[in-house]
Structure 1
């Protein structure tokens, strides 16, 4: 799933442009951080899917994935602060 890791990193680079160097460095050196980037990508994709869904459960699922995106961002920020 290396491509999902890279897409997640790209999302984070766009989300926090002031932290680009820090994000790239951590991604290159920390496999666990790369896995967090992948988790972030998957959560963002799922949130987008459910946001567009016309199913009755769509809004609730979108909120769940939005919370997961936020929690993953917090995990990423914590991991960056431990560098």
Structure 2
């Protein structure tokens, strides 16, 4: 992320990919996640982080020389972001 004038610039492609992946992983949130992400910049930032982490995880899983410990770490990161997103959505109700 690039900081401009005190605010983070969120990579749109990563955020949209993360949002799409979250909607697939958390089907119960599909109806609300896009609306909430538009209203809450923090959730949109989490979507971007999730998109980037999932993309890195996908690359590592294809790379036969990737360190299994790092793959596990990224799996944990993705799971933690899913939990954070779920909390945000349920706290928003």
Cα distance, 1:21 vs structure 2: 1.4
Match for 2:24 among 14, 35, 56? 14
Match for 1:2 among 12, 23, 33? 12
What 5-or-longer segments of structure 2 have no aligned partner?
A: 1-10
TM-score w.r.t. length of structure 2: 0.80
- Return structure 1 stretches of 4+ with deviation > 6 angstroms: none
Which residue pairs with 2:67 in the alignment? 58
Q: How many residues end up aligned between the 2 structures?
A: 82
Cα distance, 1:38 vs structure 2: 0.5
Q: Which moved more, 1:9-18 or 1:66-75?
A: 9-18
What 5-or-longer segments of structure 1 have no aligned partner?
A: none
CA RMSD of aligned residues (A): 1.2
